[in-house]
Amino acid sequence: MHPLERKVLPVLKEGMELDEIAAASGLKKVEVMRALQWLSNKGALTVKQEVMEVVNLDRNGERYLKSGLPERRFLQGIRGETPVSKIDVAKDELNVCLGLLRGKDAITINKGKDLVVSITDNGRRMLEKESLEESLLKRLPVGLEKLSDADRHALELLKKRKEIVRVDIRKVWHVSLTDLGKRLSKLKLESGNTIETLTPVILQQGLWKGRTFRAYDVKVNVPKVYGGRIHPLQLVIDRVRRIFMDMGFKEMEGPWVETAFWCMDSMWIPQDHPSREMQDTFYLPYQGTIPEKAARLVKAAHETGGKSGSKGHGYEWSAELAKQLLMRTHTTATTYRYFGEKNIRPPAKYFYIGRVFRNEATDASHLPEFHQVEGFVMDEGLTMKDLMGYIKEFYARLGVHRIRFKPTYNPYTEPSMECYGYNEETGKWVELINSGVFRPEALEPFGIKTPVIAWGLGVERLASLILKQDDIRNLLGATGDLNWLRAYKVPRI
């Protein structure tokens, strides 16, 4: 037996409570609990937990127990016709006393200038004996189920008054020894020949010879320890990165805080486009800088179409608006930084996985802050068929085989296409990918004349599909499902 068990066992008596065992054994409550558990595992005792309601003295109750209830003090203070101001009870107790004592016909009240009271025969009798309330207060704390009908009546009266009594929930452990336990408790329980803890000294000096060791109970319930592990979302990100790498893409890198220029203007999103409004985009109260030459060409693309062959949007483009800093709303901002700053020339294949921010409400499939994956391919002769092929291949490598394409609209791609994946778990088609062929107006300012096909997708949404979660909010953040996060198994694909 463990030393704790040996300390607890001899003091145990039928029906004892945890506090009592702790006091009798000189152990802490947790130690007693542990010992009880071990002993019950051994079949030496049974432990039953009972939830009890206990009536306790509250703040005022404790005071009154010493000084007497205010109504008694009130009655005692009456000498003939007595103005209430002369009686020694607190202001907030006065009304209770008056109401209560008049209700019991213990006093008469004369309203003059001052309130004057006198005691009745009933009142005098009350002074001679203990009230039900006083009798109950003296016996607290007591279990609710032990109260007589008279006590219960008194309790109801006291509960109506301020902080005299309180009914608390208490958990009580009932312990009873089994036959084995009874036999064990009669044994001499010194550790004697048993070694409790193995130390280097015991090994070095051979002290273990001829002695026995305490056995370990490997079946006992112990607190769970959770080791650190990689978040499932990170695993999905790593897998996506692997897939792009395997398909020969290079990885890009870009900032979270962007100018409107790289996030929107560079790709021919007009400056009055609804997605640029504050309801959709988090703006910062600062301006950034924009590259002069690219700005000139982007301005031309917006205003007249520049050399792209388009008529442009036909409005006056503002460099000031383009300098506005914001939290990027999509990773296409980084694609465009690469077009503008890295002089990418065909053939080229790039991808990026990064965080983006959108001013929108959270629900099962939306978060205001999430990760996007973006890929583009730049080469002669690319068409929508290539785009579909890449997307299909990308999904196949993720284990999503049922996909559907649908035409859509993007300001910077034409044609544009959405792709849906089938969620086997919910039986629903989920929009996963937005894609398209970049428009000439969105490429010409950067000197790109070859077709560029591109696609972007939300990682959290993809992760909920792969990880078979029907609500994105289970995955991460304050609403994350901890039990699932601790227990999930990485799906093998």
Q: Are 423 and 431 in contact (CB under 8 A)?
A: no
Q: Residue 459 CB, nearest distance to ligand PHE (Å)?
A: 12
Q: Which is nearer to ligand PHE, 69 or 237 (CB)?
A: 237
Q: Which is nearer to ligand PHE, 68 or 411 (CB)?
A: 411
Cβ within 8 Å of residue 338, ≥6 positions away: 252, 254, 344, 350
Q: Tell me if residue 23 falls in helix, strand or coil.
A: helix
CA dist 301 and 295 (Å) reads 10
Q: Which is nearer to ligand PHE, 25 or 331 (CB)?
A: 331
Q: Which is nearer to ligand PHE, 154 or 454 (CB)?
A: 454
Q: Which is nearer to ligand PHE, 173 or 350 (CB)?
A: 350
Write out the H or E segment, with its range, that includes residue 54.
Answer: strand 45-57
How far is the first Cα of the chain from the last one, in angstroms, to the nearest whole number?
49
State the SS3 of 269-337: CCCCCHHHCCCCCCEEEEECCCCHHHHHHHHHHHHCCCCCCCCCCCCCCCHHHHHEEEECCCCHHHHHH
Q: Residue 416 CB, nearest distance to ligand PHE (Å)?
A: 6
Q: Residue 406 CB, nearest distance to ligand PHE (Å)?
A: 13
For residue 451, say if its preceding peptide bond is cis, omega within 30 degrees of 0: no
Q: Residue 317 CB, nearest distance to ligand PHE (Å)?
A: 21
Structure tokens at 325: 């800093």
Q: Residue 436 CB, nearest distance to ligand PHE (Å)?
A: 4
- Residue 459 CB burial class (10 angstroms; 0-12, 13-18, ≥19): buried
Positive or negative, the Cα torsion across 270, 448, 324, 289? negative
Buried b / exposed e across 148-174, counting CB within 10 Å, b at 16+? eeebeebbebbeebeebbbeeeeebbe
Site residues, ligand PHE (CB under 6 A): 330, 332, 374, 410, 413, 434-436, 454-456
17 CA to centre of own chain = 35
Residue nearest to ligand PHE (CB): 456
Q: Which is nearer to ligand PHE, 254 or 436 (CB)?
A: 436
Q: Residue 490 CB, nearest distance to ligand PHE (Å)?
A: 28
Q: Which is nearer to ligand PHE, 106 or 453 (CB)?
A: 453
Q: Which is nearer to ligand PHE, 181 or 354 (CB)?
A: 354
Q: Are 322 and 295 in contact (CB under 8 A)?
A: yes
Q: Residue 407 CB, nearest distance to ligand PHE (Å)?
A: 13
Q: Residue 474 CB, nearest distance to ligand PHE (Å)?
A: 23
Q: Residue 325 CB, nearest distance to ligand PHE (Å)?
A: 19
| Planar angle of CA 286, 289, 290, nearest 5 degrees | 135
CA dist 168 and 55 (Å) reads 6
CA dist 397 and 127 (Å) reads 90
Q: Which is nearer to ligand PHE, 165 or 417 (CB)?
A: 417
